[in-house]
Structure 1
């Protein structure tokens, strides 16, 4: 009984100890050379490294290094990796803890762990304290049910006190990472605490090439592999996505008992990362395969015909994940601003699959469910976020916090619904006109897909131009022969002119790159 009591007492006394893990400073595992694609962020953090290495250089001039640096970026952009690189470059102890590890069900435990963490940091100074996902404890105060006595808010108050209580000669720098800076308490972001913000964006084409070079180092690559071409084919990929891409290509090469990684392995890995692995065991009827072929051909032909749509890179009716087929669109360059005409063409491309099904089969299927959802979201974003409505004017509707807060009345809501309906209907009409005018090409592309199941490169351009193809292609899902004969194309419908729209600009747009065919939820 005495031993049990002593054991429980020891556990009770250690309950408020910090759970931060200290990495040894004499064995740096990550340095700035292991981080690519975030050159501006590394430049900002070089100053932190120099302060930890040579503090007297700054103190002799009366300079004060920022006490806290907040790393802000989307998931997978390398916030944790960059923090570890700072510790590796500086050669100092590195304390790593997640924001959720502070908070427990017992009141006061989180604050006690914060005090213990900073006491350990002071004993090991100079050092770095890294708090990952700080939004777990750093949210706005006053929003909890417990008010100011809430456990999370007490933990946040203790962090604020500890950061503000540093002496000017204490060589402790706090790094924190989050992808939601908008919900952090303002007291965290004021000068004297996290007074420097380093933003890590998704890498551009140059950054993607540098990241691919880092992760492919030491791997046996075929001589014909061009990382620049691969970087151009992966817009919107984060650093974590590119690392996973290299690993998937290596796994595919290993399954084939290859000695080196070939370019087809990378091309397959890109599709696996975006859409999932091939479902070769999925057997479909010839009718469903034909419908999928015309659906994807409709997407591609509309995109090829519109001046503001992205370039068609590949069409495939090979099943992946929940998608029966997909059409991959790639921009010619990295894009940071979007125009209204680009949005309008984007919606027309999403409606191309539905229109092709109706024109050829006189039938409506569930394959366009994801397309309709995306077209509606684009229209809502144009009106409510970007002020691209011709009738409602240049203003936003709704406040975007944890959930949307409505700041408009029922009459405006009806006008928004009507505007969305008009935008989607105009996109539908535009797709109808394009496919009516190019129905021979639509049939040629669909028949090629039925036979070869995928097309890209020169063969794709020849199909668009109405020329003869070389006849290559991929093999994929087998089809069950069915009794009904192939569907004959319906006669072309008369053209209906869509309403013209002025050209405006925008930014922070939804990601668009793959048009898919599926049943139910895509």
Structure 2
């Protein structure tokens, strides 16, 4: 333990000693000048007054030191005065019988004079030495180290990571295990003339574990691991980035075999000529130097470059050719099996209750990355700690999952009864459509508790991981988007429209337009693509560029989009009109319980008890009576209305 703390304590002790030395020098300097200016104590009087008192005989004793005369009067009062060169002063004191004595004026010693003269220069030199040392201590951040690499070398002190800590990305692990075997035993490949790839590019969405996987390679091979971000190379001064690349490879050569990990390499490796500026700008010079170092005339044996990015499409082609990044390793989001393994890794340090089932949690978190699952486990642990529990139960994981996916509950939001009722019908409409239209994902949960920016949420989860969607599923989702607004239209009428369904309408419109322009799901337009693959970023927003098309084609696209939207709306209206009683029953249960699971929703619409109590049935019956606050005459109204929420 002492060996680990010593490297951290020494710099602090040295800095502390330097500052203490400077402080003591200042105190000594001030005290010397203060002592040199110190004069005898006593009341200062004028020299003329002193002579008058001598003539009067009221001076008892005197002491002459240079031009300073001090002494006591007959009344024992001390005095001092400054005398000019007066040759008659001694005769005058003798004539009046004043007891006096003389002593030579104090002269500073040779060493004191030397200290007086040299101390200011020593003080200035000490401060300059301290400042220069601080500047050079961290060459990468100091003013004298612009061209130094900012790569940090991680050792076992920062925590060794192995493949046991990486789960859910088995295919990526298998591709990188070959690099580990080369670092452990290079001769095994050299005997057959094989060469290990010089670089591996990890491609995946944020949070999928690219950085963790790179650290696991270094941990398994037990070699030095240098890490740096792509943005650390680029500075406002031309040539600094290239100098840092050269210095980074020099450090790597001294520690070979080793791994150099460049995170977010797209910050420096973007396609040349695609942006503003000419070929001599700082970013392109840095990229050119990186290309030369990776596969130039100098052979960098034993140095493996591992880089990570979530934008491989913007990288320069020269960076991806064989000899530089020889292989691209896709790090996808985990499937249900991978999510279960990742949860098991993160649950090791968490005390779990017996009812916790990682398989169930994995099934209910499709699309979650490794970072999302780690956050889920952490949120569940925080919720259990907040409740004072010693074990994390399944209820905390469900609550944490709702918080991560839908946002935190906003129970402090004050809603009127009419707003709650409108939200309940809106969510009941979404839920009922998802239960009756084939192709919709199974209903997981429906709630009217405000979460995030929504006043209520209907949550549908697929049975398994989904990688594509059929036309049947997309049309079912279109109907699901309009279930909430049509439910309110049937209940309230057209005069109570609000802006709450804007998100539903936007989702439905975007989906229908993609079906027509990208997926070839329109018979009139055929299997043609009417939208470019790339998006332009303008003022922070991604804008899809449509291909040049005739006015007739654009009009046909709009009519097909409208047709798909209206078909989805008609199917939702048919389901809700035919099952209006079930809509009332489900809305009443939501008002009573606020949150219902998918199974509870199915039992409610059948009129069965959900196992809590029978209050939902009573509430639904009350809403269906003639005295209800929503008259029956207005239920089949002809307008659109929605509570402010998202599907």
Q: TM-score, normalised by structure 2?
A: 0.73
Does structure 2 retain, via aligned residues, the 8 Å contact 1:250–1:261?
yes
**After alignment, is 394-403 or 312-321 more displaced?**
394-403
Give 1:474 shift: 13
* Cα distance change of structure 1 residues 379 and 395 upon mapping to structure 2, 3 Å threshold: same
Give 1:201 shift: 1.1
2:580 to 439, 456, 460: 439
* Cα distance change of structure 1 residues 439 and 193 upon mapping to structure 2, 3 Å threshold: same
2:186 to 41, 50, 55: 55
**After alignment, is 330-339 or 310-319 more displaced?**
330-339
SS at match of 1:273: helix
Give the RMSD, CA atoms, in angstroms.
Answer: 2.4
* Cα distance change of structure 1 residues 457 and 435 upon mapping to structure 2, 3 Å threshold: closer
SS at match of 2:456: strand
1:288-329: per-residue Cα shift (whole Å, max 9, x none)? 000000000000100111111100011100111111010110
Q: Does 2:342 correspond to 1:199? A: no
**After alignment, is 212-221 or 450-459 more displaced?**
450-459
Q: Does 2:388 correspond to 1:272? A: no
SS at match of 2:484: helix
* 1:292-307 matched pairs, under 5 angstroms: 292-307=423-438
* Cα distance change of structure 1 residues 457 and 6 upon mapping to structure 2, 3 Å threshold: closer
Give 1:418 shift: 2.2
Alignment correspondent of 1:429: 570
* 1:351-362 matched pairs, under 5 angstroms: 351-362=482-493
Q: Distance in 1 between matches of 2:516 and 2:548?
A: 13
Q: Does 2:644 correspond to 1:518? A: yes
1:213 to 331, 344, 347: 344
Alignment correspondent of 2:277: 146
Give 1:12 shift: 4.6
Does structure 2 retain, via aligned residues, the 8 Å contact 1:92–1:128?
yes
Alignment correspondent of 2:252: 121
Q: Distance in 2 between matches of 1:64 and 1:337?
A: 38
Alignment correspondent of 1:405: 545
Alignment correspondent of 2:171: 40
Q: Does 2:507 correspond to 1:374? A: yes
Q: Distance in 2 between matches of 1:93 and 1:61?
A: 26
Does structure 2 retain, via aligned residues, the 8 Å contact 1:326–1:517?
no
Alignment correspondent of 1:450: 591
Q: Does 2:524 correspond to 1:386? A: no
Q: Distance in 2 between matches of 1:416 and 1:6?
A: 69
Q: Does 2:431 correspond to 1:291? A: no
Q: Distance in 2 between matches of 1:166 and 1:88?
A: 30
Alignment correspondent of 2:382: 251
Does structure 2 retain, via aligned residues, the 8 Å contact 1:455–1:473?
no
Alignment correspondent of 2:498: 365
Alignment correspondent of 1:505: none
Give 1:466 shift: 3.9
Give 1:27 shift: 6.7
Does structure 2 retain, via aligned residues, the 8 Å contact 1:209–1:231?
yes
**After alignment, is 201-210 or 409-418 more displaced?**
409-418
Give 1:287 shift: 0.2
Q: TM-score, normalised by structure 1?
A: 0.89
1:160 to 288, 291, 315: 291
1:485-505: per-residue Cα shift (whole Å, max 9, x none)? 6213545589xxxxxxxxxxx
Does structure 1 retain, via aligned residues, the 8 Å contact 2:492–2:635?
no
Give 1:410 shift: 4.4
Q: Does 2:599 correspond to 1:462? A: no
SS at match of 1:130: strand
SS at match of 1:52: helix
Q: Distance in 2 between matches of 1:474 and 1:83?
A: 56
Alignment correspondent of 1:182: 313
Does structure 1 retain, via aligned residues, the 8 Å contact 2:489–2:637?
no
Q: Distance in 2 between matches of 1:192 and 1:384?
A: 40
Q: Distance in 1 between matches of 2:614 and 2:455?
A: 17
SS at match of 2:520: coil
Unpaired runs of at least 5, structure 2: 1-123, 537-543, 617-626
* Cα distance change of structure 1 residues 166 and 308 upon mapping to structure 2, 3 Å threshold: farther
Does structure 1 retain, via aligned residues, the 8 Å contact 2:207–2:370?
yes
Q: Distance in 2 between matches of 1:323 and 1:306?
A: 24
Q: Distance in 2 between matches of 1:202 and 1:473?
A: 43
Give 1:59 shift: 1.1
Give 1:378 shift: 1.1
Alignment correspondent of 2:15: none
Give 1:468 shift: 3.7
SS at match of 2:524: coil
Unpaired runs of at least 5, structure 1: 476-483, 495-515
* Cα distance change of structure 1 residues 441 and 98 upon mapping to structure 2, 3 Å threshold: same
**After alignment, is 70-79 or 359-368 more displaced?**
359-368
1:383-412: per-residue Cα shift (whole Å, max 9, x none)? 222222222111212223241333222423
SS at match of 2:501: helix
1:171 to 271, 294, 302: 302
Q: Distance in 2 between matches of 1:473 and 1:207?
A: 41
* Cα distance change of structure 1 residues 12 and 457 upon mapping to structure 2, 3 Å threshold: closer
* Cα distance change of structure 1 residues 26 and 281 upon mapping to structure 2, 3 Å threshold: closer
Rg larger in 1 or in 2?
2
